[in-house]
Copies of this chain bind each other. A is one copy, B any other.
Amino acid sequence: MANVKIKPIGDRVLVQHIEEKEQVRGGIIIPDSAKEKPQEAKVIALGTGKKGEDGKVTPFEVKVGDRVLISKYGGTEVKLDEKKYTLVREDDILGVIE
């Protein structure tokens, strides 16, 4: 994965797409027919955190290395060393795959 070159701002998280062939065997299969198809991804870097009115930062519910499901329409794609990454807000992370 080399050296990560993007530090997300605020409540954003940098995640790396997991190609379908690499996805957990016998595990989660996302149906093609799903109206809003989520995508499996790995958390690469956490943002600087979401700040409340009082300046306190809310800790993230995910950590670097987590396998997560992200909402398909959330986030912005970037490419780094030939791999697709996505900058998503934490609220676009639906769940952690355990």
* A residues with CB within 8 A of B: 4-10, 12, 14, 24, 26-31, 34-36, 38, 47-48, 51-56, 58, 61-62, 68-69, 71, 76-81, 84, 87, 90-91, 93-98
**Chain B contacts of A24 at CB under 8 A?**
5
- Which chain B residue shows the least CB distance to A87? B94
Number of this chain's copies in the assembly equals 7
Tell me if A98 and B6 are in contact (CB < 8 A): yes
Tell me if A8 and B78 are in contact (CB < 8 A): no
12 A-B pairs with CB atoms under 8 Å apart are A6-B96, A7-B95, A12-B94, A30-B79, A31-B78, A34-B76, A36-B76, A36-B77, A38-B76, A53-B54, A55-B58, A76-B94
Bound together, the chains give a CA A1 to CA B5 distance in angstroms of 25
Query: Which of B9, B51, B69 contacts A96, CB < 8 Å?
Result: B9
